[in-house]
Copies of this chain bind each other. A is one copy, B any other.
């Protein structure tokens, strides 16, 4: 059999990635949901090669000109293999871009302002990558007409970011920098508001205004955000 493993890049191992319930495998998941123990297992190396090839194609071609045939060729796999694992271009790109957000961390820098600035700068550096710029907005646009795709994005990209907001807030509350919120519903709304403001501003700055979210910008933005949030306790629902 003329295998071409020599063409596959060194993909590391990545048995099924560090993600939770991502990589749902489009169509045939429900029919083998318990555990398909028998038969030839899917190649984990092929997974990694395909996702890497997808990011490479995003850089070279952008989303609209990216074709699954080209990705398959780059990854050194057959086009049919690709269709067996992903339902279409959207799902593939979501998974490929989601891996970029794996390295988002929240190092404890001692103050809420410093923590936020650090996370926002990390987020900005990811959005500065061309594979993230071309891919992320395109799948978000597609998701406006595809509920399942929206859920996939939420699970693999958004929720991972939101966890950082939650963690940072609880730290800040422990430090006394933010007031505690006993009502869980109100607390969730606050987290949603913060998240929309942070992610929205960085995305808009990077992709629409097309200017870098550098340290000066992030510092100003963080200042405005924190002062506004801190003042919210003094104006609780001032209708």
* A-to-B contact residues, CB < 8 Å: 62-64, 130, 133-138, 140-145, 150, 153, 158, 189, 192-193, 195-197, 199-205, 207-211, 216-217, 219-221, 223-229, 231-232, 235, 238-239
> In the assembled complex, which residues on chain B have CB atoms less than 8 Å from the CB atom of A219?
239
What number of copies of this chain does the assembly contain?
Answer: 2
Say what secondary structure dominates the interface of chain A.
Answer: helix
The answer on a CB contact under 8 Å between A196 and B201 is: yes
Enumerate chain B residues within 8 angstroms of A200, measured Cβ to Cβ.
Answer: 197, 199-205, 208
Nearest 9 CB-CB pairings of A with B = A200-B204, A228-B228, A200-B200, A224-B228, A137-B141, A227-B231, A138-B141, A200-B201, A133-B144
Once bound together, how far apart are the Cα atoms of A40 and B229, in whole Å? Answer: 60
Q: Of residues A137, A211, A221, A235, which shows the largest number of chain B Cβ atoms within 10 Å of its Cβ?
A: A137
Q: Report the Cα distance A134→B145, complex, angstroms.
A: 7
